[in-house]
Amino acid sequence: MRFFTRLKFSTKLNLGVAAIILLTSLPLALLLSRMAARALAGENADRGRILAESLAARAPDFLLAGDYLRLKNLADELKAAGGDIDYVFIQNSAGDVLAHTFERGFPTVLRDANAAGAEKRAVRRLLDTGEERLDDFAAPVYAGEERLGTVRLGVSRAKIQTEINRLLWAVAGVSGAALGLTVILTSLFAASLARRINTQIKTYQDQLLQAQKMESLGKLAGGVAHEINTPLSIILGYSQLLQEGAQEGGQLREDLKLIEKQAKICRKIVSDLLGFSRQREPLLIEMDLRAGIEETVKMVRHTFALRGVAIDSELGDAPVWAAGDPEKLKQVWMNLLDNALDALTASEGGGVIAVRCRADAERGRAVVSVADTGSGIAASDQSKIFDPFFSTKPTGKGTGLGLSVSFGIVQDHGGAVSAASPLPEEFLSRSMSGLPGSGRGPGCVFIVELPLCCGVDIAEASTALG
Ligand SMILES: Nc1ncnc2c1ncn2[C@@H]1O[C@H](COP(=O)(O)OP(=O)(O)OP(=O)(O)O)[C@@H](O)[C@H]1O
Ligand SMILES: [Mg+2]
């Protein structure tokens, strides 16, 4: 048993299939050979009896005339007619052999090995010579009611055995071919299955690693953010308090305003960090995801257009119900749109951002994608983009928190966010390829998947939650 568990997956599969084929083909071969043997033996018996009886019907004239030469000719003709006829001989009523087909003398043991009965039909008896098995037929020769003698005919069973062997070889050949073909197919199937399982294990390992990394980073970021929050509030409070006492338009007041502005930027960062570390529970209500996406798109469409970027949003006709915190999810859509805008405007030009939303009922997932044909994400950066503070943007332009915060929010919703770059063909919308050259880069797509839920009216849900 231990030996079996140590075998390769494909070997185990092949052994199993081979065992099934052998277990089915062996009894089948036995059954077939037995059925064939019975059918052939029956046919042999009928044929031998008919031949013996027909010779017995022709023999009386020659027996009465004592024409043993003609009797011998008849016997020889009969033997020559059937390839499996071993011998033919004719006895008189006293049992003496009058004519036979044996070339090296008549074997006397055969003389009384079989005898015809009182009836006119031939009697069959199975004889075993040690070398072969044969059916001996004894047909009585009558002239009227007078018994003149007996015709004896020996039919070999070797031919039957040859036929059965041929059948067994045919079954063995078909089973062998089936076995060979099955082993090849099973090996191919096992190899492709093993490849698929390995890829899936690798994906799960990567996801687990990413999740563990995010959790420890989240804890760290959350802890630091929490500690910074208090001194930051004091700095902000004092800078505002001191401004009240400072002279309007004076240098001191300007400096204090700068401190207040920078402290507020820090507070935003701290708030994002706390969001990423999931220290705030999201408020989940059932809603049509399309509403929040549409609102966000509407909000930014104009400013994006000023920078030469159009938004092509196709959200479908049917509502896509998911349980979520509308404000937090809007933050996710906003971060993704902002990133796409930056990617498209990194170099001169502009472009199109394609936003799609659909329900994948089979997988029970709402799927939102934000695709652009901007600068794309370098392969070496793809594993880092969700890390807090990872940014490829110039200092002061990006804090590197947008995606990590979005990651935390989507995870809190029981969903997942992933990115693919270069932009896969299926996300390339017609409006993207329609714009000649503008902002065209390798591009990328961000896909957010959230659990679907059965639809209820959003207004109803909001009222219920107060
Ligand atoms: N659509 C995109 N195209 C190309 N690169 C992208 C895209 N979205 C994100 N990235 C890459 O992922 C990095 C991290 O993104 P993230 O939103 O977390 O931070 P950021 O945009 O740099 O800063 P922030 O969002 O905090 O202002 C980006 O700096 C960029 O390199
Ligand atoms: Mg960003």
Do 110 and 51 belong together in one domain? yes
pLDDT in tens, 394-429: 887 888 889 988 998 898 899 999 999 999 988 887
Return phi, psi of residue 429, to 5°.
-85, 165
Q: Which pLDDT does position 463 carry in this prediction?
A: 45
Residues in the chain: 466
Which residues are in the CB-under-5-Å shell of ion ligand 2?
339, 402
Q: Is there a single domain that holds both residue 317 and residue 460?
A: yes
Q: How far is the CA of 294 from the centre of ligand 1 (A)?
A: 22
pTM of the full predicted structure? 0.55
Q: Are residues 220 and 292 in the same domain?
A: no
Task: Determine the 3-state secondary structure of 94 from DSSP.
Answer: coil
Burial-class residue 396 by CB neighbours within 10 Å (0-12, 13-18, 19+).
Answer: exposed
Calculate how far, in angstroms, residue 403's C-alpha sits from the geometric centre of ligand 1: 7
Claim to verify: residue 340 and residue 461 sit in the same structural domain: yes
SS3 category, 353: strand
Find out whether the beta carbon of 422 lies less than 6 Å from any atom of ligand 1.
no
> Looking at the structure, do residues 318 and 447 belong to the same domain, yes or no?
yes
Residue 369 · residue 293 · CB < 8 Å: no
Residue 230's domain is classified under what CATH number?
Answer: 1.10.287
Between the CA of 204 and the centroid of ligand 1 the distance, in Å, is 24
Q: Is 452:359 a contact under the CB 8 Å cutoff?
A: yes
With the most atoms of ligand 1 within 8 angstroms of its CB, the residue from 342, 369, 403, 406 to mutate is 403
Q: CA quadruple 434, 439, 444, 449: dihedral positive or negative?
A: negative
Instruction: Identify the domain boundary among 252, 275, 298.
Output: 275
Residue 100: both structure tokens together: 């036979």
Same domain, 169 and 195: yes
- 244/128 same-domain check: no
* Whether residue 184 sits in one domain with residue 137: no
CATH of the domain at 326: 3.30.565.10
* Structural domain total, the chain: 3
Angle formed by the axes of helices 289-306 and 326-345, nearest 10°:
30
Q: How many whole angstroms from 402 Cα to the centroid of ligand 1?
A: 7
Co-location of 107 and 229 in the same domain? no
pLDDT for 280 equals 54
C-alpha distances out from residue 39 to 27, 53, 136, 170, 394, Å: 18, 21, 18, 18, 93
402 CB-near residues (< 8 Å, 6+ apart): 335, 338, 339
Q: Whose CA is nearest to atom 12 of ligand 1?
A: 385
Which of 212, 244, 275 is a domain's end point? 275
Q: Tell whether omega for the bond before 422 is within 30 degrees of 0, i.e. cis.
A: yes
CB of 320 closer than 8 Å to CB of 285: no
Choose one of 268, 338, 387, 391 to mutate for the ligand 1 pocket test, by most ligand atoms within 8 angstroms of C-beta: 391
pLDDT at residue number 305: 93
Task: Tell me, in angstroms, the distance from the centre of ligand 2 to residue 150's CA.
Answer: 112
**Residue 425, pLDDT score:** 86
Q: Which two tokens stand for residue 417?
A: 């966010």
The reply to whether 438 and 303 lie within a common domain is yes
Q: Of 132, 156, 180, at which residue does a domain stop? A: 156
Ligand 1 pocket residue status of 398, Cβ below 6 Å: yes
Mean pLDDT in consecutive groups of 10 residues from the start of the chain, 466 residues = 78 86 86 85 87 93 92 92 88 93 92 86 89 90 91 88 84 88 89 91 86 78 82 92 89 93 88 68 84 95 92 93 91 95 85 94 94 93 90 86 90 92 86 59 94 61 43
**Do 183 and 149 share a structural domain?**
no
Report the SS3 class of residue 456: coil
Which residue's alpha carbon is nearest to atom 8 within ligand 1? 339
CATH number, position 66: 3.30.450.20
442 in the same domain as 296: yes
Which ligand 1 atom is the nearest neighbour of the CA of 370?
Answer: 1
Ligand 1, atom nearest to 400 Cα: 19
Structural domain for 84, as ranges? 2-156
State whether the beta carbon of 374 lies less than 6 angstroms from ligand 1.
yes
Cα–Cα distance measured from residue 306 to residue 335, given in angstroms and rounded to the nearest whole number = 18
Q: What pLDDT, in 10s, does the model give residues 176-234?
A: 898 899 889 988 998 899 899 999 999 889 878 877 877 787 778 778 887 888 889 99
